[in-house]
Amino acid sequence: MKYDGVDYPDLRSVNQDQTCNIPVSTINPLFALAISYTYTSLIPGITAAGQNKDLIKYTSPADAEFLNYGHCKCLDSVPVTPEGMPTPAIITKTALDLSKMPFLIINAGSVVKPQVPYISFDMNSGNDIRTGNAVDETHVRMALSHGESLGRELAKLSKMVVIGESIPGGTTTALGVLVALGIDAWSKVSSSLTKNPHTLKNRVVEEGMAKAGIPFGGFKNDPIKAIAAVGDPMIPVVAGLACGISGSGSNVMLAGGTQMTAIVAVISAMNRALENICIGTTCYVADDPYSDIQGIANEICSDIPIYAVDLHFEESERLGLRAFANGFVKDGAGAGGVSILAMLKSSGSLTGTSILRSIEIEYDNLTRKQKKK
């Protein structure tokens, strides 16, 4: 992809011509990570997050702590599974460090409070969407309103805000919101698992919609009700932020996979402008044969730019990192978007390969610490 006269071989535009529409003057980015929780994540087989059921709720605060300290506080161990598969926050942290990009943590309903300074919206966690009553409607409204308020302030601080998410089970709740809004995303959302459990996800969403008493597209004109019925608390927080930032004239990169299309769908259903908003993800999401981010985006609006970064994980000698190239996790904690902005901010001196080398060093430190325990 070309940007400001420089060629970025590891960046590409998924659905546009191979140019980047982000204004050059904006490249002093700020990253905000929204951590959240939905009890939907406890449905067996729905997420790769956490080594076991009791640990899932620590996943997102652990990500926040890892970005802040380089290790976790709420978990005894570093966030690498026994098989050596790390949280994607290792990518985010490396890219943040390399680019000296500032970041803020937003608690968008994590059930465990992170032991770091964080922005609070006083949100509760999300219920299992099979109840048809995922998020209190008052909280959805508050999240949108607080998000807009905060977004307006962040827009004064940065012309480009990258927003990431960390919520186990989040692709299923994203599917819920998409189909409630009438977007045919069935079997199109991504998964943290290498084998995408589409049948399970579709069934969970169908159950939630039945419980809420709505057909496909039943909340087409009511995104607040769609989120309240079958969404999660992260979605209105990030949608509100994106509206507040873009409405104040700054740019927003929604950093994540198919979950971020649910944010786009919500903003679109609220009749708010999408012109300063894009999606940034990894090539592992963009090229995933088991999901279709571009297809979902096309259903919503044809022109939201999607950018993807190639981090060359298939070239890594570390099995745990190579897993990212083999469909494990794929993106998360803003990994793809932060890598993209780190590259653009560096004017090309950072590449997929150079970021990977730094991730490998971080990974080796982690696994060394892990072994010592």
Q: Sign of dihedral through CA atoms 15, 16, 17, 20?
A: negative
Q: How far is the CB of 359 from a copy of itself (least distance, A)?
A: 21
Closest by Cα among 64, 51, 98, 16 to 352: 98
| 168 vs 143: CA distance, rounded Å | 19
Q: Which residue number, 120 or 199, has a Cβ lying nearer to a copy of itself?
A: 120
Binding part of the chain for a copy of itself, among 103-111, 185-193, 264-272, 311-319 by CB under 8 A, reads 103-111
Q: At what angle do helices 89-99 and 59-69 cross, to 10 degrees?
A: 20
- Separation CA 119–CA 313 (nearest Å): 32
Q: Is 58 in the site for a copy of itself (CB under 8 A)?
A: no
Strand 277-282's sheet: what is its strand order?
Answer: 11-13, 306-309, 277-282, 251-255, 160-166, 30-35, 103-107
Report how far residue 274's alpha carbon sits from residue 245's, in angstroms, rounded to the nearest whole number. 11
Q: Which helix (H) or strand (E) holds 202?
A: helix 198-212
**Residue selected from 9, 45, 102, 215 as contacting a copy of itself according to rule CB under 8 A:** 102
Residue 113 touching a copy of itself (CB under 8 A): yes
Residues in contact with a copy of itself, shown as a per-residue x/- string from 334 to 373 under the rule CB under 8 A: ----------------------------------------
CA 330 to chain centre: 11
Taking the complex as a whole, the smallest distance from the CB of residue 115 to a copy of itself amounts, in Å, to: 8
User: Of the two residues 148 and 310, which places its CB atom closer to a copy of itself in the complex?
Assistant: 148
> Counting contacts by CB under 8 A, is residue 122 touching a copy of itself?
yes
Pair type for strands 251-255 and 277-282: parallel
Q: Does 108 bind a copy of itself (CB under 8 A)?
A: no
Q: Report if residue 119 touches a copy of itself, rule: CB under 8 A.
A: yes
User: Site for a copy of itself (CB under 8 A): how many residues?
Assistant: 25
The number of beta carbons lying within 10 Å of the beta carbon of residue 98 is 20
Of 40, 47, 87, 107, the residue at the interface with a copy of itself (CB under 8 A) is 107
Q: Does 101 contact a copy of itself by CB under 8 A?
A: yes
Contact string 225-264 vs a copy of itself (x = CB under 8 A): ----------------------------------------
The nearer residue to a copy of itself, 30 or 262, going by C-beta atoms, is 30
User: Restricting to residues 155-194, which ones interact with a copy of itself according to CB under 8 A?
Assistant: 156-158
Q: Report in angstroms how near the CB of residue 191 gets to a copy of itself at its nearest.
A: 31
Closer of 37 and 328 to a copy of itself (Cβ) = 37
Distances (CA, A) of 54 to 28, 47, 49, 197, 328: 39, 13, 11, 21, 21
Spell 104-119 as b/e; 16+ CB within 10 A means b.
Answer: bbbbbbbbbebebebb
What residue ranges bind a copy of itself (CB under 8 A)?
30, 68, 100-104, 107, 113, 116-122, 146-147, 149-150, 153-154, 156-158
